[in-house]
Amino acid sequence: MNRTAKIIAIYATTIGVSALILAIAFWVRDGLIEREKPYVVNAGAEVQQTMFPIVSDLDATNQLGEPVKLSQLKGKVWVVAEFFAVCPHCALRNGQELREILNEFSSHQDFHLTCISIDPETDSVDRLKEYASALNADPKNWWFLTTESNKKAHQYMEETLKFFRIKQRTDIADIESNGKFAHDLGLALVNKNFEVVGKWPLADARKTDPVLYESLKKDMYEKIRRELAK
């Protein structure tokens, strides 16, 4: 092989190796991008349209101290929310969004509201009774529920009802301002067949985007009406 042929061979080999390196780099990059994609699909959507059956029941106690099960609500259309008694965000949401929803649909005997405490170790029946009384919540159509432990409540809300993960705050100033748990303030709708059929972040939208808030509220009310009509 003469000198010219050797140079050509070296260049060809270099080009081939470079191309291989680039291909591997792009493959690795695409894999990283794929792994870094968010778990929430279409996060910019105005409402989380979803449907899944509630596959397990929850034994709880309402604000009157009565033992109840969520399965008792089969055949009803109901809105469910997380709360804990000293959460300032829950107080505003419950006194505004939930009260307005109940005022709109209280004439329907098949409509119900349910608030499940994520701090049952603190939220005793007496505290729930006081809380419900302040909101003039009739247990016939608005339950405030406590369970046997925080762990049980968190697992049920996260794994069965698929609310976002509950996080315990550690910063003292943050706890004083917002309560000890950071949690999902969304409102989920359950149909007569015990299926979650939608979830709306009204409380978050109210704080950030009045136009979006009204749009979400309208969408939720229309969905409730359709479910009640079935």
Calpha distance 186→79 (Å, rounded): 10
Calpha distance 61→65 (Å, rounded): 6
The CATH number that domain 52-229 falls under is 3.40.30.10
Question: What's the pTM value of the predicted model, to 2 decimals?
Answer: 0.79
Residue where the block lists tokens 């999902």: 184
pLDDT above 80 for 16: no
Mean pLDDT computed over 144-171: 97
pLDDT above 70 for 202: yes
- Phi-psi category of residue 136: left, alpha or beta, with phi > 0 → left and psi -120 to 50 → alpha: left
Tell which wins on pLDDT, 48 or 120: 120
Mean pLDDT computed over 185-211: 96
Calpha distance 184→95 (Å, rounded): 17
**146 touches 125 (CB < 8 A):** yes
User: Which long-range contacts does 204-208 make (Cβ < 8 Å, 24+ apart)?
Assistant: 206/96, 206/97
pLDDT above 70 for 88: yes
- Identity of the amino acid at 166: I
pLDDT above 70 for 210: yes
